[in-house]
Structure 1
Amino acid sequence: MVKKHKRFLPLLIVPVLTLSLIAGCGTTDSSADSSGSSASVTDVSPISVTYSTEDTDSSWDASNATNITLNGDSITVSGSGASSSGSVLTIQNSGTYVISGTISDGQVVVSAGEEDIVRIVLNGASVTSSDNAAIYARQAKKVILTLAASGNTIEDGSAYTGTSDDEPNAAIFSKGNLTINGAGSLTVKGNHKNGIATKDDLVITGGDITVDAVNDGLRGRDSIAISSGIFNITAGGDALQSNNDEDTSKGWVSIDGGSFTIAAGNDGLQAETILQVTNGNIAMKTGGGSANTVTKNKEQAQPGGSRQDPAQASVSTTEEDSASAKGLKAKTGILITGGVFSIDSSDDSIHANGAVKIQDGEFAISSGDDGIHADSALMVNGGTIKISKSYEGLESANITVTNGTIHVKASDDGLNAAGGNDGSSQNGRPGQNTISTDSSYFIKIAGGYISIDSGGDGIDSNGAVYISGGTILVNGPTNDGNGPLDYDGTCEVSGGILAMAGSSGMAQAPGSTSAQNSLLVKFTAKQEAGTMVTLTDDSGNPIMAFAPSKAYQSIVISSPDMMQGKTYTLSTGGTSSTQLVDGMLTGGTVSGSTKLTDITISGNVTSIDENGSPVSSGMGGPGQGGQPR
């Protein structure tokens, strides 16, 4: 491959730490505990989230509630604990307050005791403030907004008067914990900065919520926990953000349910520490979507280029994002154990400065930069991932796949193990950083199904590649500056099924220490897209049949069925008796093919041309042990 300018940290020896984070939220006093740093996280442990009864219970005792009627420019209070002055309502005590009616230019202020819990029931209420937050919880231990009916609207002014720059800063703003529940609807217009914000924990367990904000849609400084609800969020900044960067036990987001439709100028879901998704349906467009790609100005690979001199790879720098428009983003780590995702992002669709761990879920990704990026470690243990557009599909210092179904379309590398920070930005991907080879970088594939369509390398590791299981199909580059398989250290294949086709100039076979036998074939001329390559045993049964979707001049084949001492026949062309899956024959037979040569496998790596003559296996050196006949 042509070594392109990537994003790398200065070369450091960093102790490897495993993140361990256990957090509680949704109680009257959420707390969390964490250790580790984003630069060295190699795993992501789940956040333990508990939603309290008061968070989930949207009922109230009408006989003990204070009823408040908004009358355009005046307010009527029936009951205790609250008072009004003109168009301003002030709640002084704990209790339940049912608000209905409309105030055209006023405010609801909560100024209760530090340990008070205040429930505000919005029962067809509309509150507009021309110069401040419409609902301002100045003091209370927790404020619960219960949506009892549809038609609740809250709107602030574009410029605040008599306030500091930081607070209040949202149409609904709380200095303490804030919970939203109920089955009603709420429409929030944040003209000043944010839509809904709290300096502590934000918990949402229900409601049909629409937010249109100049800056962030939902912001919980210490945490955000959502278990249910319907959300339509339009934000000039981030759609959801938890931004506490002073306490490593805070700044987390947990999505445990709900349906989200998001259009964000910057990030979709952003956590300062951990972003966790266990359930939910999330559709988002960030930064104008992948059509507004951040890779427009990236340096392009030059066909025929060579590897960088390792002596020049000892200096590297880091560039930070000038504007981030990622889909899911976290500084410490991202853990996804379920959910359905549709992400159209101009920047990385899923990004962590630490680790990303995907256990399950369904993903439809279109990215203007990387599909999934993790600085430290990327782990896929399940789920269905379809990346229809990306610069690089999956990228991290370490990539491990044990299960799941992955389809990747990338203009550069499909899977790329190259450590360091991702410095992508909307002003163009940083392109001045040199790149290094590091034995700690690796790609490990132990299971799952991976299909790659790459403009650069199909699988590229600046360290090692280990394949012990799974099915890997590569429709690789058509230019000779890249290859279907590219590694700088070792490539050990001990299991799995491989069919990796692409250009021949930089093509590599697996390493000679592999336990499973492999075959690299280089053709003298390019083969047309869709031309099937078939390897059959001495009984004529297909061991492998693969029809690459792009023109190709090399192919790597490896299967547990390829045995040393056995003779196989290599053929091209023909048709299959059953429908191919991603170009691969999964059952049936091939007819009408043209025999090229017979091969007797006597070693674990065989590198030949289509006539059976030994050839060099590119940067990995000549093949070992195959005896053409």
Structure 2
Amino acid sequence: MLIVRRSVSSTTLKTSVAALALALSLAGCGTGTPNAGSTTTTQDPATAGATAEAPAADDATAETASDTTDATAVVAADAITEDTHYDADDLTWDAAEEIPVTLADGASSATGDGVTVDGDTVTITAAGTYRLSGSLTDGQVVVAAGEEDVVRVILDGVELASSTGSPFVVTSANEALVYLEEGSTNTLTDADSYADTGTDAPNAALYSTADLTIAGSGALTVNGNANNGIVSKDGLVLAAGDVTVEAVDDGIEGKDYVALLGGTYDVTAGGDGVKSTNADEDGRGWFTVYGGQLVVSSGDDGVKAATILTVDAGTVNVTESVEGMEAQHIAVNGGTVGVTSSDDGVNAAGGSSGTTGGGGGMGGGGMEVGDYTVSVTGGTLTINSEGDGLDSNGDASITGGTVVVNGPTGDGNGALDVNGELTVDGGTVAAAGSAGMAVTPGSSSTQSGVQLTFASSVPAGTAVQIASADGTVVGSFVTTKDTASLIFSSASITDGETYTVYTGGTTTATEGITEGTLDGADELGTVTAGEYTQSQGPGGR
């Protein structure tokens, strides 16, 4: 019987757990921003902003703005251009060719060709660059250009609202680019209900049937009072900007793809946060974060793709969701990803199913293994879930980076839930949660680890430390929830070696993977690296 006292400070966390009998069965063997510059005569785009996670584009494919850059943005311009409609040249134009458009209730005006004004409806009918300023309390801006036309709309202090539907609609163009002028604040607000609710009618405050790009360093607030915030029925590139979206239903939606290159996008949505939707065409329906910062609070899924969801760099923070990240295939290659969910945190699901069976790491009672994957090769992925933490209806692999799962406290779900095989060949993994459905790294993994199963839950805020035979701490983790099971794998764990497990001691952080010492720690027992006990439970998929 262990009797413990606990005290916490900002730099030291000492915890002990009363009456902790440890049934420690072992863990496993092998398992800027495109950032336009000032609008003098031309716009100078930045298509690369270097970070540690990924290389910046070379000089042949990108230019870097001399005034400001987004430190979170990493854009390989050649790859973006090949995979999307985006072209850095679209962010370069001659200011002398801009067509000024002034919005005013009952008195809107334009100087130049390509614009018509009918009451409080302003329609752009030709390719070109249009600088909008002013406000309409009940009006609409429509882009109805030719199918080969590229239309650039500069928002330079625009307040635009509609009482009958969407205030900004692109009905036809080859590409529409909404550019947010540096230092400007702009707002788009739609009606509480739309007069036209037909199948092909606009359903968002910013709505486009053509490829859509949002760029520039200004600010934009989008209020989707009836349905969605921003919708493109083609491709969508979020190149830059300080953009806030609040929507009754979905926040931001692209059909063929969504590419986040830079800027800050803060989305609050009653439905899904940000998603791509095209599951019917090969090579479509993907969502890639190349850089920038995305913050999502959603009533349903946080970030979602019909096919492939990828984070290469930047920051993704899902602060509230039902399922945090969902796609058929999910890859975290860099950047920083944080997910909070009331159900599954990271969920590879949807698409087509495959065969049943699989190698080691099979969980959930031998569920069907489909064509779904989760892959982590770099960056940091932190999950706080009430359902399964990292969940794949197929296989999952971790070869680098850091993965932290603060999973469910109930036994109906697990911190890790992989229908096929979970392989761990690198990186650092700490997956904490309930013990009723514990999935562990599979037999083909090349990096070992330890599996800790506690006879009674370790309280939130407890430091769990793993030490080698000579007393060296090789792993420290501070729980954020009551925890009954912990899988810990890192390069510091040697397969077949015996390790002693402690609670308490001193740590440098108060949650997650950290560094620590055994000063004041309580010994619980020993484990042998590479010995896993797989739990078969009912966990939902």
Give your verdict on TM over 0.5. Answer: yes
- Tell me, yes or no, if structure 1 residue 372 matches structure 2 residue 299: no
Contact 1:195 1:212 in 2 (8 A): no
Pairing 1:220-369 to 2, within 5 Å after superposition: 220-221=170-171, 222=173, 223-229=175-181, 230=184, 231-236=186-191, 237-243=203-209, 251-257=210-216, 258-265=218-225, 266-287=227-248, 325-353=249-277, 354-369=285-300
Task: Determine the structure 2 residue equivalent to 1:310.
Answer: none
Select which of 469, 477, 501 maps to 2:400.
469
Q: Say whether residues 1:210 and 2:154 are aligned partners.
A: no
Partner of 1:583: 512
Match of 2:523 in 1: 595
Q: Structure 1 or 2: larger strand share?
A: 1
Name the CA shift for 1:121/1:519 in 2 (closer, same or farther; >3 Å): closer
Map of 1:294 onto structure 2: none
Aligned mates of 2:219, 2:317 — CA distance in 1: 20
Q: Is the 8 A contact 1:144 1:179 kept in 2?
A: no
What SS does the corresponding residue of 1:50 show, helix, strand or coil? helix
How do residues 599-610 of structure 1 correspond to structure 2 at under 5 angstroms?
Answer: 599-601=527-529, 605-607=530-532
Partners of 2:155 and 2:94 in 1: how far apart?
9
SS in 2 for 1:545: strand
Cα deviation for residue 331 of structure 1 reads 0.9
CA distance in 2, matches of 1:593, 1:341: 43
1:10-29 correspondence runs (5 A): none
Tell me which of the two structures has the higher relative contact order, counting C-alpha pairs closer than 8 angstroms and 6 or more residues apart: 2
> 1:54/1:532 Cα in 2 relative to 1: closer, same or farther (>3 Å)?
closer
Quote the residue 1:187 is aligned against.
135
Q: Is the 8 A contact 1:120 1:143 kept in 2?
A: no
What is the one-letter code of the residue matched to 1:285? Answer: E
Per-residue deviation, 1:278: 1.5
Question: Counterparts of 1:416-495 in structure 2 under 5 Å?
Answer: 416-420=347-351, 437-495=368-426
Q: Give the letter aligned to residue 509 of structure 2.
A: Q
1:328-354 CA distance string (max 9 Å, x none):
211110111111111111111110010
Report the Cα offset of residue 531 of structure 1: 1.9
For the residues of structure 2 that align with 1:599 and 1:592, how far apart are their CA atoms?
21
Asked which structure has the greater CA Rg, the reply is 1
Report Cα offsets for 1:593-616 as digits up to 9, x if no partner: 221222333xxx323xxxxxxx44
Contact kept, 8 Å, 1:492 with 1:513, in 2: the verdict is: yes
Q: Name the aligned partner's letter for residue 161 of structure 2.
A: D
Separation in structure 1 between the aligned mates of residue 431 and residue 177 of structure 2, nearest angstrom: 43
Relative distance call for 1:357 and 1:52 in structure 2 (3 A) is: closer
C-alpha contact 1:143 1:179 (8 A) present in aligned 2: no
Q: Which of residues 459, 483, 492 in structure 2 aligns to 1:552?
A: 483
Counterparts of 1:364 and 1:499, CA distance in 2? 24
For the residues of structure 1 that align with 2:334 and 2:91, how far apart are their CA atoms? 35
**Alignment identity in percent?**
29
Structure 1 position 208, deviation (Å): 1.1
Name the residue aligned to 2:536. Answer: 618
Is the 1:388–1:409 Cα contact (8 Å) retained in structure 2?
Answer: yes
- 1:155 & 1:135 partners in 2: Cα distance? 10
Shift of 1:384: 1.2
Q: Which amino acid aligns with 1:378?
A: L
Cα distance, 1:560 vs structure 2:
0.8
Report the 3-state secondary structure (helix = DSSP H, G, I; strand = E; otherwise coil) of the residue aligned with 1:57: helix
Gaps of 5+ in 2: 1-41, 43-81, 192-202, 278-284, 353-366
* Contact 1:449–1:472 (CA under 8 A) maintained in structure 2: yes
- Structure 2 vs 1, CA of residues 616 and 468 (structure 1 numbering), >3 Å: closer, same or farther? closer
Shift of 1:441: 0.5
Whole-angstrom CA distance in 1 between matches of 2:100 and 2:313: 42
* Structure 1 residue ranges without an equivalent (≥5): 1-26, 28-42, 60-118, 146-153, 158-170, 244-250, 288-324, 422-435, 608-614, 621-629
Q: Is the 8 A contact 1:414 1:457 kept in 2?
A: yes
C-alpha distance in 1, partners of 2:110/2:154?
A: 21
Measured after TM superposition, the shift of residue 617 of structure 1 is 3.6
Find the counterpart in structure 1 of residue 106 from structure 2: 128
Q: CA deviation at 1:202?
A: 3.8
Amino acid at match of 2:157: D
Deviations 1:29-88 (A, max 9, x none): xxxxxxxxxxxxxx94452253487763367xxxxxxxxxxxxxxxxxxxxxxxxxxxxx
Letter in 2 for 1:279: A
User: Deviation of residue 414 (structure 1)?
Assistant: 0.8
CA distance in 2, matches of 1:457, 1:570: 25
**Count of aligned pairs between the two proteins:** 415
Q: Alpha-carbon deviations, 1:572-599, whole Å to 9, x = none?
A: 2x1424233x4322x3424322212223
Matched, 1:143 2:114: yes
Residue type of the alignment partner of 2:536: G
Match of 1:50 in 2: 89
